[in-house]
A and B are shown apart, each in its own frame.
Chain A
Amino acid sequence: QSALTQPPSASGSPGQSVTISCTGTSSDVGDYKSVSWYQQHPGKAPKLIIYEVNKRPSGVPDRFSGSKSGNTASLTVSGLQAEDEADYYCSSYAGRNNYVFGTGTEVTVL
């Protein structure tokens, strides 16, 4: 099972938007509505920010949104804030009880 492909880095100025892609295959991202996104600050555990492609857990700002088209899922962070600077990972169910994470994207707020 290969990791989902994410860009290594993304950046934006405060107030701008940044979109991160997560590309898989028809056997994972493309086949299930089971894509989630996690935010990880240095030295901390990952935190769930999007689940089931586009749902936000309670307490996650609506600046975070998710979508999916074909084999690619996307996370958009609107109105970038300094605290959004972190690593972001996507995850998907991959069939046959297996799961897979993305390669991770480091977001920098300029």
Chain B
Amino acid sequence: QLVQSGAEVKEPGASVKVSCKASGYTFTDYYVHWVRQAPGQGLEWMGWINPNSGDTHYAQKFQGRVTMTRDMSISTAYMDLSSLRSDDTAVYYCARAIPAATFDPWGQGTLVTVSS
């Protein structure tokens, strides 16, 4: 199970940090991916973190603005997105990655609203 932090409202230019707490499995055994979905739009892959090593890889679109981290002591992954713009308004999901591009389960989603 993956449980995410609550909804956030941010002003343009600010940063947001979303958490994703894992339970029911060994946190360090599986990568965690982040995916977002703008209102009425499709799913957009953002990147992943290896909770064991801390290694990360980000989609080119988000490089320089996104940082993924983890705290192994509390089985929690984090996604930090900076320099927020109105088009960053979306539901942000974390998902455990089973090998071969299989995402299961997903967190419940965190709505981030960027508005002045």
A residues at B contact (CB < 8 Å): 1, 3, 32-36, 38, 45-48, 51-52, 57, 89, 91-93, 97-104
Contact = CB atoms under 8 A, between A and B. Distances in A.
Interface in B19-61: 33, 35, 42-45, 48, 57, 59-60
Interface stretch (B9-17, B72-80, B81-89, B95-103): B95-103
| B interface bracket (residues with beta carbon within 8 Å of A) | 20 to 34
Q: Across chains A and B, which 10 residue pairs bring their CB atoms closest together, nearest first?
A: A34-B101, A51-B102, A48-B104, A104-B42, A45-B106, A93-B101, A101-B43, A97-B57, A34-B100, A99-B45
B93 to A, nearest CB: 6
Given A45-B107, A46-B106, A89 B42 contact: yes
B49 to A, nearest CB: 12
B93 A46 contact: yes
A89 to B, nearest CB: 5
Contact of B101 (A46, A57, A91, A103): A91
B103 A48 contact: yes
A92 B101 CA distance: 6
Contacts of B60: 1
Nearest to A101: B43
Contacts of A98: 45, 57, 59
A44 to B, nearest CB: 8
Contacts of B109: 45
Nearest to A40: B43
